[in-house]
Amino acid sequence: MSTSFVFHSKAQTQKDDNLEFFDTVINNHNQLFQMSCIPSAVEMILKYYKVVDFDFYGLQKEWQNKADGSFRDFDNKELYGITFSQKFVLPRDSSFPVDSLFQTIENELKSGKKVIISLPADGGWHMFVICKQTPDGDFVSYSKLGSHTLILRNTKEIVKKSNGTEIMTYRTPPGM
């Protein structure tokens, strides 16, 4: 007869709890309009930090199907104490610093934050939230399409094929 058990240190438990809560945020969030993926991703971050309720859709309702929007609309913008910043606004070509982009994302994840990333989808671009790094080093990205949850586990491959992309990071006040 054998007995097995699982040991979790406090840090592991906290990290797992945060990932589980992020899953709860994603599962309870919707993208309301076809073109509202940027504010939708920002809303997911705000909900993750509990600065807005799960039923908050104010950014998407204001944005609706704005076709000329970009991360620039949220660059250096403070929302509910969280300040968002657009990064890697560079030509998507062979000179794009992909390794620097990946290191920036990895550093944000290690500090306990998420990263909003723009990835190609259906001839355009769609916004995802990178929430974790896999044991093999890739990034797991989540998004919504209406109420449908999208999960990508090959984010690095997609970015490399695209010759780079923009991301949005954020700062939180101390203690948040």
Q: Report the CATH number that the domain containing residue 75 is assigned in CATH.
A: 3.90.70.30
pLDDT in tens, 47-57: 999 999 999 99
The answer to the question of residue 1 being in a domain is no
The answer to the question of residue 161 being in a domain is yes
92-130 exposure pattern, b = at least 16 Cβ within 10 A, e = fewer? eeeebebeebbebbeebbeeebbbbbbbebeeebbbbbb
The band of 19, judged by pLDDT with boundaries at 50, 70 and 90, is low
pTM above 0.85, yes or no: yes
pLDDT in tens, 111-170: 999 999 999 988 789 999 999 999 999 999 999 999 999 999 999 999 999 999 999 999
The answer to the question of residue 5 being in a domain is no
Q: Which amino acid is at 8?
A: H
The answer to the question of residue 140 being in a domain is yes
The answer to the question of residue 176 being in a domain is no
**Domain total of the chain:** 1
Structural domain boundaries enclosing 22: 10-171
The answer to the question of residue 63 being in a domain is yes
The answer to the question of residue 4 being in a domain is no
Chain-centroid distance, C-alpha 116 = 3
pLDDT of residue 18: 65
The answer to the question of residue 160 being in a domain is yes
